[in-house]
Structure 1
Amino acid sequence: MAYRKSTERMRKIGPYGVETLPQVLVDAPAAPAGCRDRLVERARLQWHRADGGDPAVLAEEFLAAHGLHLRDLNRPAAHGPAVCGAALYLSAAAGAHLAGVPTTAPEPAPTLPDLAVVVYDHGPTRAPTAPDDTPWWLGPWTESWTPAQHAAAVDTVRAAIGRGDIYQTNLVGHAAAPYSGDPLPALRRLGALPGARYGGVLTGDGWAIGCASPETLVEVHHGQIITRPIKGTRPATATGRAELLTSAKERAEHIMIVDLERNDLARIAHTGTVTVDELFAVRRWCDLWQAESTVRAQAADGLGLADLLRATCPGGSVTGAPKLAALTHIAAAEPVGRGASMGALGWVTPGRIDLGLTIRTAAADGHALHTWAGGGITWDSDPTAEVAEAAAKTAPVRATLAGR
């Protein structure tokens, strides 16, 4: 009864009517490809931090109430003939809430929820809706901090590293641009960017999120837990690849995060099963090389979705090490909240969880598009280079949103 009372005002049953952001065919990241053109929304939970409660528990209980039991991720399950699965989104602020380090910076897009869970049934195959013929216009981007302020924040983090407070912290900047027309086609274009493993869109009442993320926050299948942290960036040229492979700074930064992810998985795994399958593999996203590793473990007996989210959110590659200390420095350094970025977005169903880390992600509210980008700061970081790296990461996203 307590759960029902706490979620009644957050739950929406049936298709979500949106005027400023029209409905599209379901295109949630990591949804089964063969089901996307016949998914019908059955129920929805949306939660903001002001609502109170534990978002991980709310998500697990809400899914169970709609026939998706994720309290034991080792239990095999078949793809259902009716209830297919659910899209799940958890903001970076919600992840910090789970970690016990609440954020205080104002959110630039407060209509976005901190948790959204959308349950889908199978329906008849649907034809794509006709696109909105309203001309698309995207205005100039306004940054939430100047390059000088960003560089100063890098120096502040370096000073904290010098004192021994932290080893590494990820800093993220935000920008917003006004628009007119339907933003959904622009957001859906992000999913076509090269390397967008978690390409797709999730929409709600007055908001939408478009993702082009290449990074796996956490994947669970047949009791195996996998995370693929990405750390280290260079231009996608022969010179850039050689620089990334030979950079002592990038490799040290990367290995720190791999160790952090190993520790995160060890909290929810059978003892002794955490392994690194691949270390510092160079892969391409748009016009950038990035270093990626694969960490794997066997899920502990009785591991459920709530404990999985609590152990892995927010992702180590977008926080730093140690994670709790890094979150404290992030809260002090960043002028606005991370919104839809640096959180989790993907697909959950019994027997399979696949959540991407929402880097290379944009969001729309009724007034503006929002993007976020940043990078990991170590003692060897150069402030000017860090500002340039963040710009390089967000440039393909902004160009795609503009239609270029």
Structure 2
Amino acid sequence: MRKVGPYGVETLPEVLVDVPAAPAGCRGALVERARLHWRLADGGDPAALAEEFLAAHGLPLHDLTRPAPDHHDTDTRLCGAALYLSAAAGALLAGAPPAAPEPAPALPDLAVVVYDHRPTRTPTGGPPTPWWLGEWTESWTPDQHADAVDAVRAAIGRGDVYQTNLVGHAAARYTGDPLPALSRLGALPGARYGGVLTGDGWAIGCASPETLIEVHNGTLTTRPIKGTRPATPAGRAELLASAKERAEHIMIVDLERNDLARIARNGTVAVDDLFAVRRWCDLWQAESTVHASAADGLGLADLLRATCPGGSVTGAPKRAALTQITRLEPVGRGASMGALGWVAPGRIDLGLTIRTAAADGEKLHTWAGGGITWDSDAHAEVAEAAAKTAPIRATLAGR
């Protein structure tokens, strides 16, 4: 059932508000005004629902090219809102078939939380509770993961797709308060979208380096990441020299150019910093920047429909890749491979929820994967996914 209204966290303790991409001066000084939760079973269009809910609470995002209004009164200032959209909700917007059952069904598929900005910061809670994290249980074995890679390669050979991103899931039981563990993710090196979002009986912690979509002063920006190597001098040189990684990357850059062209002024889509190498924890990753001028009258709903789910975690063509994902992945993507960040008039900044973990009342959940092309080696793809999730699991465990 859809839930609307302000309320506190019941199953999980409260945490200082630290939403990914929230203004730095506001973190820890935000007070919840209203919230919306929506799940796929509720039916309807989550993009339209988010836009309508925000407008009803003083955040009109019907035209992202307009100057931001000044929201202010004597006691409190409307600051902005956290927005989370799951990968499953994004697939719905793209017209993809339903995915496998979710491993953490307590999480909503859409969460919108509107905040006031107080001049004084919220005090922190009491002493931390003892923390224990159990062993991780994978949703598929390395051999099953490798078989899925080979199935994608076969689909590429048939001409069904050019590239498909495969994602695996793992869960571990815990005792204690998971919020400090999830909050630690935001301190990982390269976590551009570090932060936490919580609700009744669930929490999401993010360490994502990837921009799904940013809107500022009428400019649309996305920063797709594709291509990974260990963060060593040899790894950097290997990444830059890899024809396979560059081809995989450029496929997704072209997909993102097409996504932005649907909502941009004609002739304004451009690419900067093609295949620039950035560092996240102990990995090098290749990133490009695609930008465009927003079309007149572009609203939040159409922005989400055009960009979700992100091309770098689906594949090309996007809908065909989503069909492959539905057939091959044994569980849903949960909090991962979706969108999470901050929205306000004049500024939208949503990260792609890679390098992301979630807690329900009993377990922590993580997801990791990679893009599969014709040149992919199945065992190398399994190893790459493990390398991406290792810093997340170590941080959650407190190491």
Question: Which TM class, normalised by the smaller chain length?
Answer: over 0.9
Q: Partner residue of 1:23?
A: 14
Q: Output the amino acid matched with 1:25.
A: L
- Measured in 1, the distance between the counterparts of 2:50 and 2:5 equals 15
2:65 is the alignment partner of 1:74: yes
Q: Out of 288, 302, 325, which is 1:293 matched to?
A: 288
Q: Out of 180, 185, 190, which is 1:190 matched to?
A: 185
Deviation at 1:126, TM superposition (A): 2.5
Q: Output the amino acid matched with 1:65.
A: A
Q: Output the amino acid matched with 1:56.
A: A
Tell whether the 8 Å contact from 2:257 to 2:269 is kept in structure 1 after alignment.
yes
Moved more, 69-78 or 191-200: 69-78
CA gap of 1:231–1:269, structure 2 versus 1, over 3 A, is same
Q: Partner residue of 2:38?
A: 47
TM-score by length of 1: 0.96
- Measured in 1, the distance between the counterparts of 2:375 and 2:23 equals 42
Q: Partner residue of 1:163?
A: 158
Matches within 5 A, 1:27-106: 27-78=18-69, 80-81=71-72, 82-106=77-101
Q: Partner residue of 1:178?
A: 173
Q: Which runs of 5+ in 2 are unaligned?
A: none
Tell whether the 8 Å contact from 1:282 to 1:290 is kept in structure 2 after alignment.
yes
- Measured in 2, the distance between the counterparts of 1:102 and 1:113 equals 19
Q: Out of 68, 82, 107, which is 1:112 matched to?
A: 107
Q: Out of 108, 121, 127, which is 1:126 matched to?
A: 121
Q: Partner residue of 1:3?
A: none
2:253 is the alignment partner of 1:253: no
2:368 is the alignment partner of 1:373: yes
Q: Partner residue of 1:5?
A: none
Q: Which runs of 5+ in 1 are unaligned?
A: 1-8
Q: Output the amino acid matched with 1:214.
A: P
Q: Out of 341, 347, 350, which is 2:336 matched to?
A: 341
CA gap of 1:386–1:30, structure 2 versus 1, over 3 A, is same
Q: How many residues align?
A: 395
Q: Output the amino acid matched with 2:147.
A: A
Tell whether the 8 Å contact from 2:277 to 2:286 is kept in structure 1 after alignment.
yes
Deviation at 1:131, TM superposition (A): 4.1
Residues 118-138 of structure 1: CA distance to partner in whole angstroms, max 9, x if unpaired?
A: 000122413432344321000
Secondary structure in structure 2 of the residue aligned to 1:57: helix
Q: Partner residue of 1:327?
A: 322
Deviation at 1:79, TM superposition (A): 5.6
Q: Out of 239, 257, 263, which is 1:262 matched to?
A: 257
RMSD: 1.0
Q: Output the amino acid matched with 2:153.
A: R
Residues 265-314 of structure 1: CA distance to partner in whole angstroms, max 9, x if unpaired?
A: 00000000000011000000000000000000000010000000000000
- Measured in 1, the distance between the counterparts of 2:268 and 2:370 equals 30
- Measured in 2, the distance between the counterparts of 1:375 and 1:88 equals 25
Tell whether the 8 Å contact from 1:132 to 1:182 is kept in structure 2 after alignment.
no
Q: Output the amino acid matched with 1:385.
A: A
2:313 is the alignment partner of 1:313: no
Tell whether the 8 Å contact from 1:11 to 1:43 is kept in structure 2 after alignment.
no
Deviation at 1:35, TM superposition (A): 1.2
Q: Output the amino acid matched with 1:233.
A: T
Deviation at 1:36, TM superposition (A): 1.5
- Measured in 2, the distance between the counterparts of 1:132 and 1:394 equals 29
Tell whether the 8 Å contact from 1:93 to 1:102 is kept in structure 2 after alignment.
no
2:270 is the alignment partner of 1:282: no
- Measured in 2, the distance between the counterparts of 1:334 and 1:359 equals 16
Secondary structure in structure 2 of the residue aligned to 1:35: coil
CA gap of 1:34–1:78, structure 2 versus 1, over 3 A, is farther
Q: Percent identity?
A: 83
TM-score by length of 2: 0.98
Residues 164-212 of structure 1: CA distance to partner in whole angstroms, max 9, x if unpaired?
A: 1100000000000000000000000000000000000000000000000
Deviation at 1:12, TM superposition (A): 3.3
